[in-house]
Structure 1
Amino acid sequence: MEIKLSINGIDVTFKPNKLAYNSYINDITMTDKIAPATNFLRRIVLPEDKEKLNEILDNHAGAALQIVEKIIKQFAPDLEIEIKN
């Protein structure tokens, strides 16, 4: 699955996978959210878009978390779960 985002008019394509997603979730801590998000994005961005991603991350505070949020909504959508008694 490829996810193409337009970020401030710049097209960047990501190819998330289960291993990268699980690593991202496992790396998040109460005091560290930015580094795991940044690492996740750099693992899944297409090689030809890596430079564009780095420019966005370097020039926009909070960009990593905003981008990860969009990707995760597509890659791992919420399940409909209900309790049955």
Structure 2
Amino acid sequence: MKITLTINGTDITFEPTKLAYNTYINDITMNDKIAPATNFLRRTVLAEDKEKLNEILENHVGAALQIIEKVIKQYAPDLVIEVKN
């Protein structure tokens, strides 16, 4: 699945995988959210968009968390779960 985001007018495409997603989830800790997010984005961005992603990540504080939120929401949308008695 390819996910294209337009970030500050620039199109960047990601191709997340189950392995990349699971690695990201396993790497998150209470004290480290930025590095796992950045690693996930760099692992899943298409090669031709790597430079554009790096520029955004380097020049915008909090970009990794804002971007990963959108990618994950598309890749792993919320389930509808009901508890029955």
TM (normalized to structure 1)? 0.98
Work out the CA distance in 2 between the residues paired with 1:51 and 1:37. 17
Q: Which residue of 2 aligns with 1:74?
A: 74
Report the residue type matching 1:9 in the other structure. Answer: G
How far the C-alpha of 1:84 sits from its partner, in A, is 1.5
Report the residue type matching 1:34 in the other structure. Answer: I
Question: Where does structure 1 lack aligned partners over 5 or more consecutive residues?
Answer: none
Question: Where does structure 2 lack aligned partners over 5 or more consecutive residues?
Answer: none
Tell me if 1:23 matches 2:23.
yes
1:11-49 C-alpha deviation (Å, 9 max, x unpaired): 100001100000000000000000000000000000000
The 5 Å alignment of 1:1-85 reads: 1-85=1-85
Report the residue type matching 1:69 in the other structure. Answer: E
Report the residue type matching 2:74 in the other structure. Answer: Q
Aligned length: 85
Superposed CA RMSD in Å reads 0.4
**Where does structure 1 differ by over 6 angstroms across 4 or more consecutive aligned residues?**
none
